[in-house]
Structure 1
Amino acid sequence: MQRIAIIGTGNISHNHIQGYLEFPDRCQIVALVDIYPEKAEEKKKHYGLTEAKIYSNHQDILNDPSIDVFDICTPPYVHAAISIDALNAGKHVLCEKPMAASLQECDAMIAAAEASGKTLSIIAQNRFTDAFWRLKKVLESDQIGKICHAQVDSFWWRGHSYYDLWWRGTWEKEGGGCTLNHAVHHIDAIQWMLGFPTEVVAITTNVSHNNAEVEDLSAAIFKYDSGALTQLTASVVHHGEDQKIVIQGEKARISAPWDKFASIAAPNGFPIDERDTSLENQLEDSYQTVPRLTWTLHTGQIENFLHALQTGTAPLVDGPQGKRSLELITAIYKSAITRRIVSLPISASDPYYQTGGLVKMAPHFFEKSASVENFANEEAIPLGKDMDKGA
């Protein structure tokens, strides 16, 4: 039985609490920690967590032997400090995205996990969706041939007041805008599927949120050793939030939400009206024969984390995996700021790698013009469109 402390009880904690409650025979939430204790009290009452104690500081429970796991749902700028404190105290850690505010902090978290022998896992809940899980399995079948191009639309929409919350919209507290805190899900998914690129070029802007220092729209291109390209758009200005990943192979196109298309060339190379239905049927069979996941999104990742603790195996998304996503995001910001192509991996001596480097060099598109301590009637954060439609 793993005894869980939820650190930070804002909106995203709903998804974590609901996940743990699916496994009452494997875990129990015994502590709720928030600098606003009334938020923790609200979650305790809402979910009937009668055995959970309320704390206002995570340091108050570091040496509590009745706690096994720190589940960190705080704003990003304290992810590293709390994770390292917990690991050094002999606790396992499941930390929300983004992993940390810098690659240097990621290294410190990974080192703390290795030194303590405890498990560190970073939230990347899109890996635990049938749409992405099945898409990856079809890719691994090699039926579409060499990968040529991927289109990643990480389209979200947030109203102007979204950035009024006190920690959002600042480089120091949030660490970045939509590229870091929204597109991280799709960035993790595409590097999980296609591997790590060698070059990144990008541009960022803020077109709709003049109460935030950070970007609300970015466009990036990743180049791989094979010559393939990924084209990524990160946004919080897209009405409808029509998110997708489209992967073009030499033989066919596949995508999430699921679709497939295999062209046939005429002798002159132009596509004919007829499609390669034989290949399309094979792709459909490959997709449909992948078993559906029993648990999805945060619940799926929590189940994977609990399984890792029970069996002593590595979780699907460990510290190094969490760092890979942040390295791509760091490269996007560096390219946009310097107006240059960035080669990967980023050197540990690079200012953008180091803690405080990005904050020092990042542009302020606007200055933060409002600071709301808390929003009323907080609910679970919507996690985007159903990527399984059409399956």
Structure 2
Amino acid sequence: MKTYRFGIIGCGRISENHMESIKVLPGARLAAVCDINAEALTKASRTYDCKGYTNYQEMLADSNIDVVNICTESGLHARIAIDAIQAGKHVLVEKPMAMSLAEADRMIAAARKVGVKLGVVHQNRFNKAIVKLRKAVEFERFGKLTHAAAVVRWNRNDEYYSQAPWRGTWEQDGGCLMNQSIHNIDLLQWMMGPVESLFAYTATNLRDIEGEDIGAVVLKFYNDALGIIEATTTIYPTNLEETLSIFGSNGTACIGGIAVNKIEAWRFPGDNEAAILADQGNEPPNVYGFGHADIIDDFMQAITEDREPAVSGEEGRKALEIILAIYHSAKYKKEVTLPLKEQFTIGIGL
């Protein structure tokens, strides 16, 4: 078995999920970490017994690194990813893959040109309940899809946003739709198919941030089904739920829990709903769930088999496009059709 040597850029909040996953995966080894924060870098390099870099360009010059995982603030994803790709590294980047479609397209084009793999971390696609839901969609158990709802009701208080100056900014982060709800938006479009049009309202009601802390969206899919997105980080006192509900002419499914990890309703002819609800795994310790190891493992297999990873750059681009369309709709108070015909970006230039 080939061993893939990983380098992680960014040793903040999400990086531990990557480090712990690499630690336990056969065929994976953490070779290096990088961060401009000396304390975070020292802690990570000592804990996982690997090299530490304060300059990511120096890390990219390390020939012992095969794969680079990017865990920095979102606004840096595209530049670092393209640099890593041009250095000949396979790249697995946290969500959102970029802050604009132009950036995302440059990343995808660069990976194709160099011949390396580009993947985006939407780990909830590997949740046990979501895998079961996806199979039901693929086998057309819902019949005609009629509508769906993606709901994220979480808490991110002032302390969360004050921990880092980039949080909640247009340049580096965006609001609750781009940061917290993008995973559920990815799942919504994965289950329901391409979005034809949408109309959105957003607001910043409780937090002193540039981005939104609540968003409400109505969508129309190309298959004539309708959708609803509710996203907020203003729930008190703690996280409440992340739920994805799918409805069709033959069945109903609702996946909930803290991070779309638990089947709340499963109603199809011939299925024993009570038995299905009783046969579920443990609640995840946090909103990140258990999927990071699975998505990293799939990425290694994609390299070995020379195929696209489960969540390729093209796949990661889809949720990004929907969110940019939402921001455009909210700003100009109009219905927006997809695919986007212009290169919208968030913030002042939207």
Does the alignment reach a TM-score above 0.5? yes
Asked if the contact 1:149–1:247 (Cα under 8 Å) also holds between the matched residues in 2, the reply is: yes
Matched with 1:281 is 271
Mapping 1:215-230, distance limit 5 Å = 215-230=212-227
1:289 deviates by 11
Matched with 1:160 is 158
Asked if the contact 2:193–2:222 (Cα under 8 Å) also holds between the matched residues in 1, the reply is: no
Q: Within 2, Cα distance between the matches of 1:330 and 1:358?
A: 7
Matched with 1:258 is 263
1:230 deviates by 0.7
1:114 deviates by 0.2
Give yes or no for the alignment of 1:330 onto 2:330. Answer: no
Asked if the contact 1:261–1:280 (Cα under 8 Å) also holds between the matched residues in 2, the reply is: no
Asked if the contact 2:194–2:222 (Cα under 8 Å) also holds between the matched residues in 1, the reply is: no
1:250 deviates by 1.4
Asked if the contact 2:60–2:87 (Cα under 8 Å) also holds between the matched residues in 1, the reply is: yes
Q: How high is the sequence identity, in percent, across the aligned residues?
A: 35
1:283 deviates by 7.2
Q: 2:61 aligns with which of 60, 63, 70?
A: 63
Q: Within 1, Cα distance between the matches of 2:327 and 2:86?
A: 31
1:306 deviates by 1.3
1:141 deviates by 2.4
Asked if the contact 1:138–1:286 (Cα under 8 Å) also holds between the matched residues in 2, the reply is: no
Q: Within 2, Cα distance between the matches of 1:229 and 1:7?
A: 39
Matched with 1:233 is 230
Deviates more, 1:304-313 or 1:12-21: 304-313
Q: Within 1, Cα distance between the matches of 2:214 and 2:103?
A: 25
Q: Within 2, Cα distance between the matches of 1:332 and 1:59?
A: 35
1:88 deviates by 0.6
Determine helix, strand or coil for the equivalent of 1:112. Answer: helix
Structure with higher Rg: it is: 1
Gaps of at least 5 residues in structure 2 are 256-261, 281-288
Q: 1:117 aligns with which of 115, 118, 125?
A: 115
Mapping 1:65-214, distance limit 5 Å = 65-164=63-162, 165-174=164-173, 176-210=174-208, 212-214=209-211
| TM-score normalized with structure 1 length | 0.80
Determine helix, strand or coil for the equivalent of 1:243. Answer: strand
Q: Within 2, Cα distance between the matches of 1:143 and 1:105?
A: 37
Matched with 2:296 is 302
Q: Within 2, Cα distance between the matches of 1:34 and 1:260?
A: 43
Asked if the contact 2:254–2:266 (Cα under 8 Å) also holds between the matched residues in 1, the reply is: no
Determine helix, strand or coil for the equivalent of 1:258. Answer: strand
1:361 deviates by 3.8
Asked if the contact 1:202–1:218 (Cα under 8 Å) also holds between the matched residues in 2, the reply is: yes
Evaluate the alpha carbon distance shift between residue 289 and residue 11 of structure 1 in structure 2; reply closer, same or farther with a 3 A threshold. Answer: closer
Determine helix, strand or coil for the equivalent of 1:209. Answer: coil
1:23-52, Cα deviation, whole Å (9 max, x unpaired): 2x412111110011221111223x3x22x1
Matched with 1:267 is none
Instruction: Please list every run of at least 4 consecutive aligned residues from structure 1 whose deviation after the TM superposition is greater than 3 angstroms.
Output: 259-262, 282-290
1:225 deviates by 2.3
The number of equivalent residue pairs is 333
Gaps of at least 5 residues in structure 1 are 263-277, 363-391
1:56 deviates by 0.7
Determine helix, strand or coil for the equivalent of 2:33. Answer: strand
Q: Within 1, Cα distance between the matches of 2:71 and 2:175?
A: 18
Q: 2:334 aligns with which of 333, 337, 340?
A: 340
2:230 partner letter: T
Asked if the contact 1:156–1:241 (Cα under 8 Å) also holds between the matched residues in 2, the reply is: yes
Matched with 1:358 is 346
Matched with 1:42 is 43
Evaluate the alpha carbon distance shift between residue 65 and residue 29 of structure 1 in structure 2; reply closer, same or farther with a 3 A threshold. Answer: same
Q: Within 1, Cα distance between the matches of 2:169 and 2:132?
A: 37
Determine helix, strand or coil for the equivalent of 2:91. Answer: strand
Asked if the contact 2:152–2:184 (Cα under 8 Å) also holds between the matched residues in 1, the reply is: yes
Asked if the contact 1:9–1:73 (Cα under 8 Å) also holds between the matched residues in 2, the reply is: yes
Asked if the contact 2:153–2:241 (Cα under 8 Å) also holds between the matched residues in 1, the reply is: yes
